[in-house]
Amino acid sequence: SQAATVTGYTAYAAPANVAEAGKVNYTAETFEPNSGYEISKSNEPFVKETLTDGKLTIEPGTTYYIRKAASGDVPASEAIELVIPARPDAPVESAFTQTAESVENKKDGSFGGITEAMEYSINGGEWISGPKTLTDLSNETVKVRYKATTEAFKSEEYSYTFTPSTAKLTVTMGENSVEVAYDSLVSKPADPEKSGYTFGGWYSDEELTQAWNFDADTVTDNKTLYPKWIENAVQKAVITGNVTESD
C-alpha cells in the first residue's frame, strides 16, 4: 500500500479491498490476514484480534474491520469493513421425502432429496457430499445442510429422526398364530394331534416339500406353516383255531 498524509503525519493507505488484506474461507470459517494486516471486531477503538495459526475464526452475521498495521514510525491505515453474511437457513422439510420402516427390524426406511449442493450426516457421523438417497434405515437421525461456497457458510441443519416400526409379521400354524419381527426365528409350538395320524413336522408349502427348521429359518413375510400327517397303520384281526364243518 502507498502511504497517505493524514493531519500532519504519514499513515498507510487503507486496503483497496478485502482481497488485498487477506482471505476469507467460508468452508473453514476463518479469515487469514496477509502479512502486515490486522483485524478487529470494532473500529473505534480498533482492538486487534488474536489469531490462531495465523487465522481468525469468523462469526456469521458479524462485521469486522481490517487495516494495514502500523510499522515503525508509520501509523496504521484507516480500516475497511469485512461484512460476514449470516449463516444460510437450513433446507426446508418439503425438499425431502421420508419412508418409514414397514416392519420391526426390516430396516427398509429411506430418505430422499439430498442434492449435489447438500451434505448429510447419519447419527452424528462424518459429513458426506450429496447427491444421495439413503436406504436401509430404521431408527437413525439424518442431518442435512447446504455445503459452504466461496461466498457463504454451510447452512443451518435440517434434522429428521426415524421412528422404528412396531408392526409384526404373522406366522400361522394350524389353529395357532404368533407375531414376530422381520428376519426372526419363530418358536416351535407343541406338536398337534389328530386321531389316526402321527404328526410329521411343519412345512412352508402346501405340497409339504419344504420342511421348516425352527432353529435356522427366519420369517421375512407373513407365513403359513402346514402340518404333515402320516396315517397310522391299521391293525387287522387274525382268526385262529379249528373250523368244524357240519352235515
Mean pLDDT by 10 residues, the chain (247 residues): 55 95 98 98 96 97 97 94 98 98 98 98 98 98 98 98 98 95 96 95 97 98 97 72 56
| Residue pair 172/189 in contact by the 8 Å Cβ criterion | no
**Cell numbers linked to 142:** 439424518
pLDDT of residue 23: 97
pLDDT of residue 10: 82
Total-model pTM: 0.81
Contact residues for 145 (Cβ-Cβ < 8 A; gap 6+) = 90, 91, 118, 119, 120, 127, 154, 155, 156, 157, 158
Query: Residue 134, CB half-sphere, CA atoms under 13 Å: how many?
Result: 31
What strands, in cross-sheet order, belong to the sheet with 30-33?
Answer: 22-25, 30-33, 56-57
Contact residues for 111 (Cβ-Cβ < 8 A; gap 6+) = 96, 97, 98, 99, 133, 134, 137, 142, 160, 162
In the chain, the DSSP E strands lie at 3-6, 9-12, 22-25, 30-33, 37-40, 56-57, 63-68, 80-83, 97-99, 109-114, 118-122, 128-129, 132-137, 141-146, 158-161, 169-173, 176-180, 197-203, 223-231
pLDDT of residue 183: 97
Cross-strand partners of 30: 25, 57
pLDDT of residue 234: 76
pLDDT of residue 2: 47
State the Cα angle at 216 between 211 and 221, rounded to 5°. Answer: 75
pLDDT of residue 235: 67
pLDDT of residue 1: 46
State the Cα angle at 148 between 142 and 150, rounded to 5°. Answer: 170
